[in-house]
Structure 1
Amino acid sequence: MKSKLTVLATGGTIAGIAGSAIAKDYRAGEIGIEDYLERVGGLGLEAELSGTQIANIDSADVGPAVWHPLRARAMEALADEECDGLIVTHGTDTLEETAFLLDLTLPANKPVVVVGAMRPADAVGYDGLRNFANAVRVASDAQAAGRGVLVVMGDRIFAARDVYKVRTRGTEAFRGFPRESVGMVTPASLEWFGAPWRSDTPARCGLPEDLPEVAIVYVYAGLDAQSVSRQLGSTTRGVVVAGVGEGNLPECVRQELVRLAREGTLVVRASRADEGMVDREPDDDTNAFVAARALNPQKARILLQLLLAGGETEPAAIQRAFDGR
C-alpha cells in the first residue's frame, strides 16, 4: 500500500530555472508545486503525493512570514489521519534554520523531511529529482518517526539539530555536527544508523506570531565594544555571539556583554567554527552567559527566540534547554 505524503513547497533552487543547461545564474522558485509533482510523477515513486504552495522564493528571503504558514499547514497535515508523512521543499541557503525551527515546533509522531537541491531543475546533473525521490523514501518509512525533522541531501539523512551547509557548490553540500548523517538513502534503499531518539513526541516549543529580536554578533580580530553596541537596538532581547574558538571573545566585548546581561539581555556564546562545541566556562555563571553547546549561531538564535517568546528569561533554565538539544 502506497504511503500518502503531503508536500509543502517554499521555492529555492530545487524549484529553480536557469534557462540553459549550462548557465551559471538561475532564478530560484520558478516551478510551482503542481508542476513539480507532475515532473516527479514519472519516477515510479511508491507514494501518493499531494502538494501545497506555501511560498516560491529564494531561501535568503525566508523568515517568520514563511515560517508561520508553513508550520500551521504542517500541523494540519500531521494531524490528518490520512497523512503518513510530510516533505518540505526548500532552498539550501537557510534550509538548516527552517528545519531546526520546525524540529522545535512540530510533534515527532510522523516523518517530516526537508529537502532541497544545489542545481536548478534545467541544469546538467540536476540533483533535485534524486533528492526528492530519496525524501519520499524516508518520509514513507515508519522508522523515520520519532527522529524529529530530518534533512535529506546527497544520499544522506541528517537530523535538523545537526545539519549545516558547508559548500556553495557541488551536491555534497551538507554535513552534520556533532553527529554526521543519521542514515543513508537512495531511491532504492534506506539504512538507519540508530534507533529513533525522540520520546517526547509533542512539539517542544510553540511558534508565537511575534518573535523577539535576537542579534548575532560575529567576532573578528579587532572587534571592539562600540561596534557591538552599534549592532543592538532598544528592542534587542538577546544576543548570540559567534565567538572565535570555543566561543571566545575580546575582553572589551566581554565586558560590554556582561553589562547588557546585568540589564536583562540574554547572552549566548556560540562559535564561528563549523564544528564548534561550546561548553560552559567558569565565568559563565558570574556573567549570566549561556553556552550554545553544539548549536551554531543561527540555530542558537532560533532556540533563544522561541524560549524568550515562551516567557523564559532565566539563564539557568535557558542553559538547560540548550543542553537538551
Structure 2
Amino acid sequence: MAARVLLLATKDTIAHGRRGGRPVVASGADLLAALPADRVPADVRAEDVLAEPGWDTSPATMLALARRVRDALADDGFDGVVVTHGTDTMEETAFLADLMAGPAAERGGIVFTGATRRADDLSADGPRNLAAAITAAADPALRGAGAVICADDHLHAARWATQVDAAGAAPFSSAPYAPLGRVVAGRVRPLAAPPPRPPACHGAPETDVALITTYPGIPPELLTAAVDAGARGVVLQGTGAGNVPAGLFTTIGEFTEWGVPVVVASRCRTDGVPPRVPGETADGLARDIGAIDARGLPAEKARVALMAALAPGTLDAVRAWFARL
C-alpha cells in the first residue's frame, strides 16, 4: 500500500510562472500534475495554504504551518508531510515545525522544499525538488529524524540548514555538519545521524521576540526600545564564540531581573556549544549576568527556539529549556 503524504502548498517561487505573457501561480494540485507519475511514489493529497511571500512570512503563518504538519501526522494518519515554502525563510519555518512536532515526528517524514527559479525557467529546480521531497517524506528512513529541507536531492536537518545561495540549484548547506541524506533512485540514502530531538514545546510559542545584531559601539537603548515595544525576549547576534560589547552588560542584567530572557548567538557557524570561561571572555561575562547560550544555533534559529521556549512564560523555564536543547 502506497504511503499517504500531505502536500501543503504555500505557492512562492516554485509555483510562479507566466502563461501567454501573464503571470500565473500554480496550486498544489497543479504542481503535482506536472510531475511524471513514476516520480510520485505515494498517495499525495494537496492542500493549498494562504501565506505571505517567503521573504515576508509572518510568525502566525509559521505557527499555522507547524501545527498543520503536526496534526497531519498525529491525528490525520498521514505517513509524511511535504511543505512548499519560499527559500528566504524556509529554515526558520522548518525549524519551528521541528520544535513543535513532538512525538508526531516518529510517525513520518517532515520535508520542506521550494525553488530558487520560477516554474517556467529553462533550468527550473522546483519539479525535481518536489519529486525528491515526496519520495523522502514517504520513506520510513525519515521517521524520527524531525523536519528536513530537501534541495538538489540533499536532505538537510532543519536545525542545521542555512541558505547559502539565493539563485543556485543547491541553495542550502548543513555546514559544518553533513547532510542527513540524499534521494537516490527513488529512496533515501542516509549519510549522517540526525540531531537529537529537541525538548518538548509546551503551549503556544511566543511570537514577539526581537533579533538584534550587535556591533562595536551599539547603544544599549536599541535593546531597551525592543522590550519597550513589547518584545518578550531578545536574541543578540554576537561575534566569535558569542561575544557581545561590554556596553550591553548592564542592560542584559536588568532584563534578567525583569524576567526578560536574552539569548546570545554568534554570526560564526559552530558545531557545538561555545566553551564557558567566566570572567575571561565576553561570552562568559554575558552569561554570568544572566544571558542564555544559544547552544550553537545561528541567531535566526535561536530566535525561533526562544519563541518555543517562551511558551511556559518564565525565565527559569526558558533557561532550563535551552539547557536541554
TM-score normalized by structure 2? 0.86
Which residue is 1:64 aligned to?
59
Task: State how far apart, in whole Å, the 2-side matches of 1:169 and 1:92 are.
Answer: 10
Task: State how far apart, in whole Å, the 2-side matches of 1:216 and 1:248 are.
Answer: 15
Which residue is 1:108 aligned to?
105
SS at match of 1:119: coil
Offset at residue 81 of structure 1 (A): 6.3
Which among 120, 126, 134 is matched to residue 128 of structure 1? Answer: 126
SS at match of 1:122: coil
Offset at residue 79 of structure 1 (A): 2.9
Which residue is 1:171 aligned to?
169
Which residue is 2:7 aligned to?
7
Deviation track 1:55-83 (CA, whole Å, cap 9, x = no partner) reads: 25411222232134323332332135652
| Structure 2 unmatched ranges of 5 or more | 279-284
Q: Relative to structure 2, which stretch is displaced further, 113-122 or 81-90?
A: 81-90
Task: State how far apart, in whole Å, the 2-side matches of 1:45 and 1:7 are.
Answer: 12
Task: State how far apart, in whole Å, the 1-side matches of 2:324 and 2:52 are.
Answer: 33
Which residue is 2:281 aligned to?
none
Task: State how far apart, in whole Å, the 1-side matches of 2:140 and 2:309 are.
Answer: 30
Offset at residue 89 of structure 1 (A): 0.8
Which among 292, 295, 298 is matched to residue 296 of structure 1? Answer: 298
Output the amino acid matched with 2:138.
S
Offset at residue 19 of structure 1 (A): 6.2
Task: Classify 1:260/1:320 alpha carbon distance in 2 versus 1 (closer, same or farther; 3 Å).
Answer: closer
Which among 225, 229, 240 is matched to residue 230 of structure 1? Answer: 225
Contact 1:164 1:175 in 2 (8 A): yes
Offset at residue 178 of structure 1 (A): 4.7
Which residue is 2:201 aligned to?
205
Which residue is 2:282 aligned to?
none
Task: State how far apart, in whole Å, the 1-side matches of 2:64 and 2:221 are.
Answer: 38
Query: Pairwise CA RMSD of aligned residues?
Result: 2.7
Task: State how far apart, in whole Å, the 2-side matches of 1:58 and 1:70 are.
Answer: 14
Task: State how far apart, in whole Å, the 1-side matches of 2:287 and 2:196 are.
Answer: 30
Which among 159, 166, 169 is matched to residue 157 of structure 2? Answer: 159
Which residue is 1:35 aligned to?
30
Identity among equivalent pairs (%): 32
Task: State how far apart, in whole Å, the 2-side matches of 1:284 and 1:230 are.
Answer: 20
Task: Classify 1:284/1:252 alpha carbon distance in 2 versus 1 (closer, same or farther; 3 Å).
Answer: closer
Contact 2:91 2:158 in 1 (8 A): yes
Q: Relative to structure 2, which stretch is displaced further, 141-150 or 176-185?
A: 176-185
Task: Classify 1:251/1:76 alpha carbon distance in 2 versus 1 (closer, same or farther; 3 Å).
Answer: closer
Which residue is 2:289 aligned to?
287
Offset at residue 285 of structure 1 (A): 4.8
Task: State how far apart, in whole Å, the 1-side matches of 2:35 and 2:229 are.
Answer: 49
Task: State how far apart, in whole Å, the 2-side matches of 1:199 and 1:275 are.
Answer: 19
1:51 aligns with 2:46: yes
Offset at residue 281 of structure 1 (A): 4.1
Task: Classify 1:55/1:281 alpha carbon distance in 2 versus 1 (closer, same or farther; 3 Å).
Answer: farther
User: Hey, which bits of structure 1, 4+ residues long, moved more than 6 A?
Assistant: none
Task: State how far apart, in whole Å, the 2-side matches of 1:274 and 1:20 are.
Answer: 45
Task: State how far apart, in whole Å, the 2-side matches of 1:270 and 1:18 are.
Answer: 42
1:264 aligns with 2:259: yes
Task: State how far apart, in whole Å, the 2-side matches of 1:104 and 1:19 are.
Answer: 39
Which residue is 1:78 aligned to?
73
Task: State how far apart, in whole Å, the 1-side matches of 2:277 and 2:229 are.
Answer: 29
Which among 114, 117, 120 is matched to residue 119 of structure 1? Answer: 117
SS at match of 2:212: strand
Output the amino acid matched with 1:11.
K
Task: Classify 1:39/1:80 alpha carbon distance in 2 versus 1 (closer, same or farther; 3 Å).
Answer: farther
1:322 aligns with 2:322: yes
Task: Classify 1:268/1:43 alpha carbon distance in 2 versus 1 (closer, same or farther; 3 Å).
Answer: same
Deviation track 1:93-149 (CA, whole Å, cap 9, x = no partner) reads: 000010010001112121111111111111121111111111111111111101111
TM-score normalized by structure 1? 0.86
Offset at residue 320 of structure 1 (A): 4.3
